[in-house]
């Protein structure tokens, strides 16, 4: 469909309860906690008022779980790790300190497993972007008495992952890494910048790659590499590589 639907929920008094717009990589989704009995009105319209037979849509209204993401986002093949699912209507979940578009997320401890033979067999999910064509991944869902949640991507890591540490927000507190390394992290809170430090030798050929769009996230991340050396005066010198 060419439509980018905007969804609005109106309460029994004609007041706007909430509104959802399509994200960079996902359709619009409302998480609404209703405060009154009675008829509510759901309004759906294309974001730029586009019309035509190829502007179709489907509406799902349900009390089933809704996933926003899981962390860690990547698991090594053949392993199972302790993780956390974030979303809404998650069975047995607790409130988290994270929000999406102003909506408080719930968090649920889960087990995240990656099959051994995941290579090259991405599982079907509700929607994939062109940037995700090359990822090795499986879908992950949460089940409840009200039904299954939507699917989110769980990526296959190349090896055991390292989580970004709290406090690695400055060059002076950069998190040390042993190469090769695979790091999973989050840009949180707002304006978060994470720093890492590793040892390298002259002549080493390194491949440094930042994944963010491929997991299906709406981020616009950047990667900066600096060389830190010691000058003749004993002071650190920094050069942008």
pLDDT for 212 equals 87
Are the C-beta atoms of 71 and 32 separated by less than 8 Å? no
pTM above 0.85, yes or no: no
Residue 172's Cα: distance from chain center in Å? 28
CA distance 99 to 101: 6
Which residue in 96, 87, 20 sits closest to 59, CA to CA?
A: 20
pLDDT for 232 equals 85
3-state SS record for 104-147: EEEEEEEEEEECCCCCCCCCCCCCCCHHHCCCCEEEECCEECCE
pLDDT for 54 equals 95
pLDDT for 64 equals 93
pLDDT for 42 equals 95
Q: Give the up-direction half-sphere exposure of residue 184: CA atoms within 13 A in the CB hemisphere.
A: 19
pLDDT for 120 equals 60
* Alpha carbon separation from 124 to 73, 81, 89, 101, 137 (Å, rounded): 17, 22, 23, 27, 10
Residue 158's Cα: distance from chain center in Å? 19
66: enclosing H helix or E strand = strand 66-71
pLDDT for 141 equals 94
pLDDT for 176 equals 96
Q: What is the mean pLDDT of each run of 10 residues along the chain (241 residues)?
A: 92 91 75 86 93 93 92 92 95 92 90 84 64 83 92 86 89 93 89 93 91 82 92 88 90
């Amino acid at each position: 469909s060419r439509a980018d639907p905007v969804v609005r929920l109106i309460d029994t008094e004609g007041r706007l309860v909430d509104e959802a717009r399509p994200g960079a990589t996902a359709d619009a989704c409302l998480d609404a906690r209703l405060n009154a009995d009675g008829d509510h009105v759901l309004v759906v319209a294309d974001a730029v008022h586009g019309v035509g037979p190829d502007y179709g849509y489907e509406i799902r209204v349900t009390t089933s779980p809704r996933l926003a993401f899981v962390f860690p986002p990547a698991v090594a093949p053949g392993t199972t790790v302790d993780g956390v699912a974030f979303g809404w209507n998650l069975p047995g979940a607790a409130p988290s300190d994270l929000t999406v578009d102003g909506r408080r997320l719930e968090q649920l401890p889960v087990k995240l497993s990656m099959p051994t033979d995941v290579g090259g067999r991405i599982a079907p999910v509700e929607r994939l972007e062109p940037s995700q064509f090359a990822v090795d991944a499986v879908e992950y869902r949460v089940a409840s008495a009200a039904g299954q949640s939507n699917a989110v991507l769980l990526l296959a890591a190349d090896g055991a992952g390292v989580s970004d540490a709290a406090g690695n927000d400055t060059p002076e507190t950069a998190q040390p890494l042993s190469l090769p390394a695979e790091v999973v992290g989050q840009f949180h809170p707002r304006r978060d910048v994470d720093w890492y430090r590793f040892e390298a030798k002259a002549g080493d050929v390194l491949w440094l790659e930042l994944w963010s769009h491929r997991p299906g996230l709406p981020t616009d991340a950047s990667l900066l590499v600096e060389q830190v050396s010691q000058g003749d005066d004993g002071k650190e010198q920094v050069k942008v590589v």
